[in-house]
Chain A
Amino acid sequence: QVQLQQSGPGLVKPSQTLSLTCAISGDSVSSNSAAWNWFRQSPSRGLEWLGRTYYRSQWYYDYAVSVKSRITVNPDTSKNQFSLQLNSMTPEDTAMYFCVRDRGHCFDIWGQGTMVTVSS
């Protein structure tokens, strides 16, 4: 049974960097048939895709235009996990953040969510 377990802080100061980690069990971050995504959800923006990484003989990365200048999604094969870094956080980045597996046009496994508040 595949599970995703998120970890990271719930409070970030303005201008600082958000770092979240998603630990994978029951699958591999290096899988040739999956992609590993980050989404967020807020009342003002709804459910929003942020970025992904996937392995197909090499690593690939895709990012949403809205955050492209300040986002990094990285795999960690040694720990079988992937991470989200979002720089220059503002109050508009306050949201629930989710890590999600895509098994091929099918977003089937979701992490439990991390509520992130940006406030001084």
Chain B
Amino acid sequence: DIQMTQSPSSLSASVGDRVTITCRTSQSLSNYLNWFQQKPGQAPKLLIYAASSLESGVPSRFIGSGSGTEFTLTISSLQPEDFATYYCLQSYSVPSVFGPGTKVDVK
């Protein structure tokens, strides 16, 4: 199975901050990577697919980049509703594997 790591595991930030989360994989995914946001008690919400494509309805402050084995999710200016946990997911092959998550909380 493809192994996924995320860094950092948690971070504290303020509204307006630029936030960057990194996902690394044990083998190349080409660009088959999804990013999700999850809030307590809710299902994960798709933000980014194909590494850098913004899902319909998602604010443009969410930016995905990368290919191969290293990917980045950037929130250009953190908003109050963005405090949540973020996950990457490899969609290259079965089994689909999630990263362990990055919790973004209030500084």
**Interface residues, chain A, CB within 8 Å of chain B?**
37, 46-49, 52, 62, 64-65, 98, 102, 105-108, 110-113
Contact = CB atoms under 8 A, between A and B. Distances in A.
A24 B36 CA distance: 22
Interface of B: 32, 34, 36, 42-46, 49-50, 55, 87, 89, 91-92, 94-98, 100-101
Given A46-B101, A112-B43, A113-B43, A106 B96 contact: no
Give the interface SS of chain A, mostly helix, strand, loop or mixed.
strand
A110 B44 contact: yes
Given A46-B100, A107-B96, A102 B91 contact: yes
The binding surface of chain B is classed by DSSP as: loop
The 3 closest A-B pairs by CB, nearest first: A110-B43, A106-B49, A47-B98
13 contacts: A37-B96, A46-B98, A49-B94, A49-B97, A65-B95, A107-B91, A108-B46, A108-B49, A108-B55, A110-B43, A111-B43, A112-B43, A113-B42
